[in-house]
Amino acid sequence: MSIQVAVIGAYGSAGSAVAGELAEREDVELLLFDDGDPGGGLCILRGCMPSKEILSAGAHRYQARHDDRLVGSVPDVDLERVVERKDDHTLGWAAHRRDSVEQLAERSDVIFIRETARFVDERTIEAGGERYEPDYVVVATGSNVNIPDTPGIEDVDYMTSADVLDATTFPDTGIVMGFGYVGMELVPYLAEVGGMELTVVEHDDRPIDEAEPPFGDAALELYREEFGVSIPTNVSEKRLEPTADGVSLVLEDEAGEKRVVEGEQLLCFTGRRPAVDRLGLEHAGIDPTGEWVDATMQATDSGRVFVPGDANGREPILHVAKEQGFLTAENILADANGEPLTPYENVHHHVIFSGLGVYPFARVGHTETSARAAGYDVVTATRQASDDGVFKAKDVADGLAKLVVDRTDGTVLGYQGLHFHADAMAKSLQIIVELGIDVRAVPDRAYHPTTPEILDGLFRETAEAVEKA
């Protein structure tokens, strides 16, 4: 049996993954839709890739400023060159993605329509004045910047993460709303490279919700001490007002006490929302609110619509989008054959390039809290980066790491790190956690002197605790 599958958002990470998988099937005809220019998806154009490009410039300056062995003036960062190089690389990365998708379009069973597609009714989509009735529709349209509905926001000027990526000048002061992934990454850049004095709003006791408190506390201290950022905690935004010099924000704490902070520029790093507004989902009988997409990536209101990646609002991260895209292809074929669908499951695997990427945060698998909540009896070990001479030798002695292990059989359940090279170590821990490896079987002899030695101490301590148990 032959089926026709439409992919709306073919240039993105999820859409291109679906298309790549299904293009190899002789029993599938593909309709690819994307009106993106230059095309390439959020991560390439406005997300993880260009942001790491600009962070690298800030990291070089930070380390030069931080190292008291260096003499002379701290170098300035040429923002025009930063943006120029970022744009050049971004266009190259986008071209690579675009070329891969357009190569698929050269196949006889693939049609690429460079237009916006939207639903007309439950079975029909329209693009460029033409109508199509595919058997399945994949909505892989990604996400847009989310702007909060804080009273007064319509009366003030604000910058988003996309604006920061393109900016070649910054004012002296600013207020940041949003201290999640995006804020954690861009705030040090604005302070280090932009030279801004910032007030950053934190709703809770500390940032990094998915981390255990010591990691959020370490990040809070790092940002305050190393980057000079003012971070009021346990406060919420009540009202924005324009001022002669910029903007004022009324904050309210848990006791109801109010305070006013001012800055020349408001910066909104307040997350992202699914980009589904233009799709006419209501014509297909789909309500894109709440839990509107099953773990199988199938829309709850329509068995013929699948929604992988940022568009489903579940976990807006590139590697997750690609995995969900591959699963979507598998589940479409399963559904067409009357077979049960497979739900998406993944081991928690996140990285935040905090501290300009010099002090990234990584989490793989369980924290101690989540492991105990899941019923595990655990042993843990925590190690400070300053415990290992290699971090001191590299002048990056801040930070810590923690390992969580099943006491009964030694299975490594999770790792958290906020330290130099934590992002690179996350891959090793992903392998260990996903394969369910016994900590006693993990070699505790990293090549000396390299930063993975921090892991050796964690392995040794937890292995000894398991043996004693």
What CATH number should be reported for the domain holding residue 168? 3.50.50.60
Q: How many residues does the chain have?
A: 469
**DSSP-derived secondary structure letter, 444:** -
Residues spanned by the domain of 123? 3-144+273-336
Specify the 3-state DSSP secondary structure of 455: helix
pLDDT beyond 80 at 40:
no
pLDDT on residue 261: 98
- Say if 60 falls within a structural domain: yes
pLDDT on residue 240: 98
pLDDT on residue 101: 85
Residues 213 and 277 in one domain: no
Poorest-pLDDT segment among 23-32, 96-105, 292-301, 312-321: 96-105
- Say if 301 falls within a structural domain: yes
pLDDT beyond 90 at 39:
no
**Burial (CB count <10 Å: 0-12, 13-18, 19+), residue 249:** buried
- Say if 350 falls within a structural domain: no
C-alpha 252/C-alpha 6 separation (Å) is 48
Residues 368 and 379 in one domain: yes
Residues 428 and 380 in one domain: yes
Residues 9 and 118 in one domain: yes
pTM assigned to the model: 0.94
pLDDT beyond 90 at 385:
yes
pLDDT beyond 90 at 1:
no
- Say if 417 falls within a structural domain: yes
Over residues 276-282, the mean pLDDT reads 96
Distance of CA 31 to the CA centre of its chain: 29
Q: What confidence tier does 312 reach under pLDDT thresholds 50, 70, 90?
A: very high
Q: Among 270, 287, 306, which residue terminates a domain?
A: 270
pLDDT beyond 90 at 176:
yes
pLDDT on residue 94: 80
Please give the structure tokens belonging to residue 166. Answer: 């393109």
Residues 261 and 322 in one domain: no
Residues 110 and 9 in one domain: yes
Residues 222 and 123 in one domain: no
Which residue in 37, 55, 5 sits closest to 423, CA to CA? 55
pLDDT on residue 216: 98
pLDDT in tens, 397-421: 999 999 999 999 999 999 999 999 9
Distance of CA 130 to the CA centre of its chain: 36
- Say if 352 falls within a structural domain: no
pLDDT-above-90 percentage for the chain: 90
**Distance (Å) of CA 105 to CA 29, 91, 242:** 11, 21, 50
Specify the 3-state DSSP secondary structure of 263: strand
- Say if 342 falls within a structural domain: no
Residues 110 and 195 in one domain: no
- Say if 400 falls within a structural domain: yes
CA dihedral in degrees (206, 207, 208, 210; nearest 10)? 40
For the chain, the average pLDDT equals: 95
**DSSP-derived secondary structure letter, 438:** B
Residues 224 and 256 in one domain: yes
Q: What confidence tier does 297 reach under pLDDT thresholds 50, 70, 90?
A: very high
pLDDT on residue 98: 82
Residues 9 and 139 in one domain: yes
Number of separate domains in the chain: 3
- The DSSP line for 298-337 is BBTT-TTEE--GGGGSS---HHHHHHHHHHHHHHHHHHHT
State the amino acid at position 262 in one-letter form: E
Q: What confidence tier does 172 reach under pLDDT thresholds 50, 70, 90?
A: very high
Instruction: Give all strands (DSSP E) within 180-318, no chain letters.
Output: 197-201, 235-242, 247-253, 258-263, 265-268, 272-274, 305-306
- Say if 341 falls within a structural domain: no
Residues 297 and 237 in one domain: no
Sign (positive/negative) of CA torsion 446, 449, 454, 458? positive
pLDDT on residue 35: 87
pLDDT beyond 90 at 102:
no
Q: Among 255, 270, 285, which residue terminates a domain?
A: 270
Regarding predicted confidence, which is higher, 319 or 451?
451
Q: What confidence tier does 36 reach under pLDDT thresholds 50, 70, 90?
A: confident
pLDDT on residue 133: 97
Q: Are 211 and 363 in contact (CB under 8 A)?
A: yes
Any idea what the CATH number is for the domain that residue 450 is in?
3.30.390.30
**Which residue, chain included where needed, has tokens 């579940």?**
314
Which residue in 242, 233, 238 sits closest to 207, CA to CA? 233
Q: Among 254, 270, 286, which residue terminates a domain?
A: 270
Residues 266 and 280 in one domain: no
pLDDT on residue 37: 76
pLDDT on residue 45: 78
